[in-house]
Structure 1
Amino acid sequence: MILRKTLSASALLSFALLTACNTTPATDLTSSNTARFDYVATVPLETGDTPRDLAKTLGGTVLSWDNADCGAADSEVCVALMGMNINNTAQGEVSSTTAQLHAQSLAAQASRKVYIEPNKNVFSGGGSMTAIMGGSMSLWAGGSMSLWAGGSMSLWAGGSYSPLPQNSTLWQQIRLQQAQALAPNLGDGVTVAVIDTGIDLQHPAFQGSLTDPASWRDFYAADNDPQEEGTLGVGGYGHGTNVAGIILQIAPEAKIMPLRVLGEDGSGDVVMVAQAVDWAVAKGAKVINMSLGSEDNSKVVQDAINRASTRGVLVVSSAGNANLGKITYPANNAQLKGPGDYAVSVGSVSLQDVKSTFSNYSNTLELVAPGENVAAPAPGGMVAAWSGTSMAAPMAAGGLALALGQPLKVPLNDVTKKMIGTAFDVYDISANRPYRDMLGDKGRLDLALFLQNVIK
C-alpha cells in the first residue's frame, strides 16, 4: 500500500505586521516553507526587531518568532528560530567547529548571543514492524477485530476487558483491566498529542477519537494534513498509527492530536519537533507522546519541552532501541529537576519483564513498559504489531491520560513521579541483574497501583 501527498510549493513568511515584543505566539507563525535546513539558530529577540530585519542581518530564514513572553525574567523565552545552510566544504558538510565559528560570526552581526545546532534528520522514530494481521476491514467482520466494525474506538470502552485480544497478556502485565475500572472516565476530556510520523486519519479505530482538524499539523510537509505516507512494512510508515492506537487502547475516551514531524523513513528535523511541541501546548494538549529521539541533546527541542512543562503539560519520550547504556534525548532529560517533574522516559521489557534486547538502558532511565509485539492499528484499516521503546512510551502516555481524566489527589507535578515510584520491581529477575538501577527507579509500569496513588 502506497500513500503520498503533494507538498505545497515553498512560500515566504509574511512579515508585514510583525514587531518584536508583542503577544504573538510562535505557533501562529509556523512557516509554510517546505525547505529543509542543515542548521537551526536560536536568536534572542530585542525591542525593535522584526523578522524581515533579522533575516536580512543573519542571512537565514525565520521559522518561528516567539516573543509572547518578551521582557520576562528569562530572556531566552523571547527568541526566533532561523533555518540556515552553511556550505563550507567541497562536500557541503559542516563540522561542529565550523558551525560554532559561524554562530560567533552571527552573534557579532546581531550584537547578541546566538546558538546554532544541527537540524536536518536529527530525530528518528524507533521500532520495527513485526507482524501484519488481517486484511481490509471487511475481512474482520465476525472475527476478533469485529469490535471495529462500527468504526468507533468507543466500542472498546468499558474498562473491563482488553481492547485488542492480541494484547491480552501484556495488558494483564501492566494491569490495564484494573486501571480502567479505577478510572471509569477512560481519559475523557484529555488530549494526547502524538508527535510522530502522522497517523492514518481514515482508520476506523480513530473515527471519533481525534481532535478537531483545526488542531492537526504536518510540520514535515508544512500543511494541515498529518496523514502517514509510505509503503507498509518499509521505514517508519505505520509507526505513528501504532503509537496512537496503543494510547487509545489504554485510554479509549482520550482524544488524539496528530502532529507529523517524521518522514516515511522515520526521520525528521529539530525545528519540526520543537514547533510541534509548542503547537501541541497552544492547541490544548495535556499529554505529549514523543516516540522518537536523538543521540544529541537538542537545546531547541528541550527549550520547547521546558515551555510545555511551565504550562503543566506532561511529556513522555522513548529511550531508544540500540541496546546501549545511554538513552536518547529528550528522554535523557526527563530526570532533570524542574521540567522533569512533568516528564517521564520509558524503555522496554518483554512479557517476562526482562529488558528487551533492543532497549537502551541507563541510570537516567525512569520507567520501562512492555514494548514487544504490540498490536495496534496500521495504515489501510489493518492491524500490525510493532516492537520498540516507541511502543512502551504510549503505554505510559495512555496511563497519564487515564489519570488526568479523573480528579487528582496529588499535585500535577507529582503525577509522573508517582508513575515512576509505583512501578513493579524487575530487579529480582536474574536476567535483569546486569542492568541494576538502569531500568528505571523500580522498573515496569503498573497502571493500577499508579492510579490508586494519584486519583481520588
Structure 2
Amino acid sequence: MTHARPSLSLLSLALTAALLSACSSSPTPPQASQATAPPVLQPVSLVTVPLQAGDSPSSVGAALHGTVLSWNDAGCASGVTVDCEAIVGVQAPVALAAQGVGRLGRPVTVEANGAAFRATGTLLVGMEGARIAWAGGSLQAWTQGARIAWAGGTYAPVPQNTATWTQVHLQQAQALAPALGEGVTVAVIDTGLDLTHPAFEGALTDPSTWQDYVGADRVPQEEGVLGTGGYGHGTNVAGIVLQIAPNAKIMPLRVLDANGVGTVANVALAVRWAADHGANVINLSLGSAKDSRAVRDAVASAAARHIPVIASAGNDGSTRLTYPAANAPDVGNLLGVGSVDAADVKSLFSSYGRDLSLLAPGEHVYAPAPDGLLAAWTGTSMSAPEVAGGLALALGQPLKVGVDDLTGALRGSATKVDGLLPNLPYAGRLGSGRVDLSAFLGRTVR
C-alpha cells in the first residue's frame, strides 16, 4: 500500500458500465436465469480519497481519470473520517497511480486491487458421510411448532452438529432468546449461496438487497462444482448462522468466485452495501494476508454505525491473522475468530495471536450444501458464523446492554481454554477463549 501526495497527472481507463450497474443502489433485480454473467473488468488500483467541501463524484472521478466506486459523505459534517471519503477505481498500476493524484491537491491512499481475499474454509472430501442428502424443510421450519430443533438432546435439523452445538451451549442460548433472531439481518459476504436450497426457504432478505459483485448482477447464486475451490462455502456459512439463529434473515452478497477468491474492491463495496441496506451483523468468512485501507475503512464505518462485524482469523496455523480480523484491536465492534476442536484445543490450522478476539468450533461443521445436500466444512470460516449467529440471537431480544457492548460481552463470557495442557504453547494468544452462547445471552438479554 502506498501513501501518495499530489504530483504528476494520471493516465487511466474508466471501468466498464457493468461495474457501475453492479454498484447502483436501485436497479431492478434480475431473474434467476441471469445468475451467470461474464467477468467484470476490475480496476487495477484503488484510490481512497478524503472528501472536501465542493467535491462531487464527477469532479473526483474526472480528476483521477477513474470511476467512483463508493461515495461516502455521511460523516463529513460530523467529522467521521471513514464516512467522509470516496473509493475510486483506476486502471493504472499502483506506482503510476501514486504519481497521478496531483489534481486533487490532497493526500490519498493508493493500493492494488488484486485478488487478495480467500475463503477460509475447506470442504471435507473422502470422508464417509461428509456429503449427504438434506433431510428436507427449511431451517426456520424446525423452530415453528410441528418441528422441534432439539429433541432428546439431539439437534434435529442437523444431528451431526449436536456435539458442536452442545459445546457452545446453543440449546440453553436459544431458550434464553426465544425470538431466535427474528427481525435481525446477517449479511453473509462470501461465495454467494444456493438460493434454491430448501434450507433457506423464507430465510433470505428481499432480493432488492442482494448483490453479486463477481457476476455484476443481483443474483448471488453459487457457481462451480462441489469439492472444487470455494463452491458451497457461502451456503455452508449461511447455514451455520441459521442453525444458531433460525429466524434471522440472510443477506447474500457474492464477492468470492468459484475458487473462493475475491478482490479488495468487491469486499469493500459489499461491506458498505450491507451497512447501507439494513444489515445488523456482517459476517466475513474470508481474509487477506495484506491490510487494505478501503476494506478497513468500510469495516470501521459499519462498526461505527453499531453493526458488529465478524471475521475469520485465517487457516495457516501461524501468529499472522488475516485481515480484517487482524484489525480487531483497533476497530470497535470487530471480532476476529479462530477455531478449536471438540476438546477446546486450538485447531492446528487456526491462526492465533495476541490480536485474536475469540475461538469457536471450526472442525467438521455440517450445514446445507448446493444441489440439495448437507456437507461438512472445516476452517475458521465455520467459526465466525457461529459468533455472528450468537449476535443475531441477542439482537432479536430486548437488551439490557447497548448494541456496542455486545462484542465485549461475547469476549467477557467466553470460556478460557489457553490453560488446557495442549493449549499451553498458545497461552495469551487465544483471545478471550471459546465462545459460550448461553453465558453471552445471560449477560445481554432481558
TM exceeding 0.5: yes
**Offset at 1:293?**
0.8
- In the alignment, the residues of structure 1 paired with residue 400 and residue 60 of structure 2 have an alpha-carbon distance, to the nearest angstrom, of 48
- In the alignment, the residues of structure 2 paired with residue 71 and residue 450 of structure 1 have an alpha-carbon distance, to the nearest angstrom, of 36
- In the alignment, the residues of structure 2 paired with residue 14 and residue 316 of structure 1 have an alpha-carbon distance, to the nearest angstrom, of 28
For the 8 Å contact 2:74–2:84, the answer to whether it is kept is yes
**Offset at 1:56?**
3.1
- In the alignment, the residues of structure 1 paired with residue 438 and residue 425 of structure 2 have an alpha-carbon distance, to the nearest angstrom, of 28
- In the alignment, the residues of structure 2 paired with residue 396 and residue 354 of structure 1 have an alpha-carbon distance, to the nearest angstrom, of 18
Alignment map for 1:24-423 (pairs within 5 Å): 28=25, 34-74=40-80, 77-87=83-93, 98=95, 102-103=97-98, 105-131=99-125, 133=130, 145=135, 148=136, 150-151=137-138, 153-156=140-143, 158=148, 160-161=150-151, 162=155, 163-336=157-330, 339-340=331-332, 342-423=333-414
What secondary structure does 1:124 align onto? strand
**Offset at 1:154?**
2.3
For the 8 Å contact 2:282–2:388, the answer to whether it is kept is yes
Mean CA deviation greater in 354-363 or 59-68? 59-68
CA RMSD of superposed structures (Å): 2.3
For the 8 Å contact 1:375–1:385, the answer to whether it is kept is yes
- In the alignment, the residues of structure 1 paired with residue 69 and residue 275 of structure 2 have an alpha-carbon distance, to the nearest angstrom, of 18
- In the alignment, the residues of structure 1 paired with residue 364 and residue 310 of structure 2 have an alpha-carbon distance, to the nearest angstrom, of 20
| Structure 2 residue identity aligned to 1:373 | H
**Offset at 1:135?**
5.1
- In the alignment, the residues of structure 1 paired with residue 130 and residue 361 of structure 2 have an alpha-carbon distance, to the nearest angstrom, of 20
For the 8 Å contact 1:29–1:64, the answer to whether it is kept is no
| Structure 2 residue identity aligned to 1:237 | Y
- In the alignment, the residues of structure 1 paired with residue 418 and residue 437 of structure 2 have an alpha-carbon distance, to the nearest angstrom, of 19
For the 8 Å contact 1:293–1:328, the answer to whether it is kept is yes
**Offset at 1:34?**
2.3
Residues 14 and 195 of structure 1: is their aligned pair in 2 closer, same or farther, counting only changes over 3 Å?
closer
Q: Once the two structures are superposed, what CA deviation does each residue of 1:153-205 show, in whole Å capped at 9, x if it has no partner?
A: 32246563523100111111111111111111111111000000000000000
Residues 13 and 397 of structure 1: is their aligned pair in 2 closer, same or farther, counting only changes over 3 Å?
closer
**Offset at 1:215?**
0.7
**Offset at 1:51?**
3.3
**Offset at 1:151?**
4.3
**Offset at 1:59?**
2.2
Q: Once the two structures are superposed, what CA deviation does each residue of 1:204-255 show, in whole Å capped at 9, x if it has no partner?
A: 0001000111111111222100001111110111000000000000100100
What secondary structure does 2:286 align onto? coil
What secondary structure does 1:199 align onto? coil
Instruction: Calculate percent identity across the aligned residue pairs.
Output: 49
Residues 114 and 312 of structure 1: is their aligned pair in 2 closer, same or farther, counting only changes over 3 Å?
same
**Offset at 1:324?**
0.6
Residues 302 and 38 of structure 1: is their aligned pair in 2 closer, same or farther, counting only changes over 3 Å?
same
- In the alignment, the residues of structure 2 paired with residue 240 and residue 310 of structure 1 have an alpha-carbon distance, to the nearest angstrom, of 26
Residues 13 and 301 of structure 1: is their aligned pair in 2 closer, same or farther, counting only changes over 3 Å?
closer
**Offset at 1:136?**
5.1
Q: Once the two structures are superposed, what CA deviation does each residue of 1:342-394 show, in whole Å capped at 9, x if it has no partner?
A: 12110001001111010000011011010001000001110110000000000
Mean CA deviation greater in 191-200 or 60-69? 60-69
Residues 350 and 134 of structure 1: is their aligned pair in 2 closer, same or farther, counting only changes over 3 Å?
closer
**Offset at 1:27?**
6.5
Residues 208 and 435 of structure 1: is their aligned pair in 2 closer, same or farther, counting only changes over 3 Å?
same
1:18 paired residue number = none
- In the alignment, the residues of structure 2 paired with residue 152 and residue 433 of structure 1 have an alpha-carbon distance, to the nearest angstrom, of 38
What secondary structure does 2:25 align onto? helix
For the 8 Å contact 1:190–1:286, the answer to whether it is kept is yes
- In the alignment, the residues of structure 1 paired with residue 342 and residue 287 of structure 2 have an alpha-carbon distance, to the nearest angstrom, of 24
2:437 paired residue number = 447
1:3 paired residue number = none
Residues 86 and 14 of structure 1: is their aligned pair in 2 closer, same or farther, counting only changes over 3 Å?
closer
Runs of at least 5 residues in structure 1 that lack an aligned partner in the other structure: 1-8, 16-25, 88-93, 138-144
**Offset at 1:48?**
3.7
TM-score where L is the length of structure 1: 0.85
- In the alignment, the residues of structure 1 paired with residue 75 and residue 305 of structure 2 have an alpha-carbon distance, to the nearest angstrom, of 13
**Offset at 1:78?**
2.7
1:142 paired residue number = none
| Structure 2 residue identity aligned to 1:178 | Q
Runs of at least 5 residues in structure 2 that lack an aligned partner in the other structure: 1-14, 28-36
**Offset at 1:14?**
7.7
For the 8 Å contact 2:46–2:89, the answer to whether it is kept is yes
Mean CA deviation greater in 154-163 or 356-365? 154-163
- In the alignment, the residues of structure 2 paired with residue 64 and residue 300 of structure 1 have an alpha-carbon distance, to the nearest angstrom, of 10
